[in-house]
């Protein structure tokens, strides 16, 4: 009978130590979670203050003041526009009048059926993206 009592007392001491260990671990984890939440809150506050500072820096009124202070810009006036007749002449054409369009000739010379056949045999849509399996 004494052996059973001794065994039960040892089991109770072991159980109490185990429960104490679990409680301490949960306390440490709770403190870690609270610290992480505080860090997250601090980072969010920092982000909000940076966004506010950015909004202040890019405000149109501030930019207008800086531009007027440091740049010699003036508003556009109607006399600054010119008419179309004062534009420079058109550059000379490399294609003589009556000759076929060289780009159109190249496009017409491409064999579309050969391109379609090559595209259906090729497993890639582009150089790096494989073609979907159901697309063939």
Please say if the pLDDT value at position 136 is more than 60.
no
Q: Is the pTM of this model over 0.85?
A: no
Q: What is the model's pLDDT at position 33?
A: 98
Dist CA 7 CA 13 (whole Å): 10
Query: How sure is the predictor about 124, in pLDDT bands with cuts at 50, 70 and 90?
Result: low
Q: What is the model's pLDDT at position 34?
A: 98
Please say if the pLDDT value at position 128 is more than 70.
no
Cβ-Cβ contacts under 8 Å for 62 (sequence gap 6 or more)? 56
Summarised one tens digit per residue, pLDDT across range 91-104 is: 887 778 788 888 88
Residue 130, helix vs strand vs coil: strand
Q: What is the model's pLDDT at position 113?
A: 75
26, 20 Cβ separation under 8 angstroms: no
124, 133 Cβ separation under 8 angstroms: no
131, 118 Cβ separation under 8 angstroms: no
**Through-space distance between the first and last CA atoms of the chain, rounded to whole angstroms:** 82
Please say if the pLDDT value at position 12 is more than 70.
yes
Summarised one tens digit per residue, pLDDT across range 13-72 is: 999 999 999 999 999 999 999 999 999 999 999 999 999 999 999 999 999 999 989 998
Which of residues 120 and 84 earns the better pLDDT score?
84
Q: What is the model's pLDDT at position 103?
A: 83
Mean of pLDDT values over 3-16: 96
């Amino acid at each position: 009978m004494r052996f059973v009592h001794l065994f039960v007392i040892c089991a109770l001491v072991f159980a109490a130590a185990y429960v104490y260990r679990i409680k301490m671990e949960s306390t440490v984890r709770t403190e870690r979670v609270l610290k992480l939440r505080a860090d997250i809150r601090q980072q969010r506050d920092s982000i909000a203050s940076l966004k506010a500072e950015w909004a202040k820096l890019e405000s149109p009124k501030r930019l207008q003041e800086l531009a007027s202070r440091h740049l010699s810009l003036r508003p556009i006036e109607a006399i600054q526009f010119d008419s179309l007749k004062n534009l420079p002449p058109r550059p000379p054409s490399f294609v003589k009048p009556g000759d076929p369009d060289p780009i159109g000739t190249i496009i017409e010379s491409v064999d579309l059926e050969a391109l379609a056949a090559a595209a259906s045999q090729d497993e890639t849509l582009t150089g790096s993206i494989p073609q979907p399996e159901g697309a063939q």
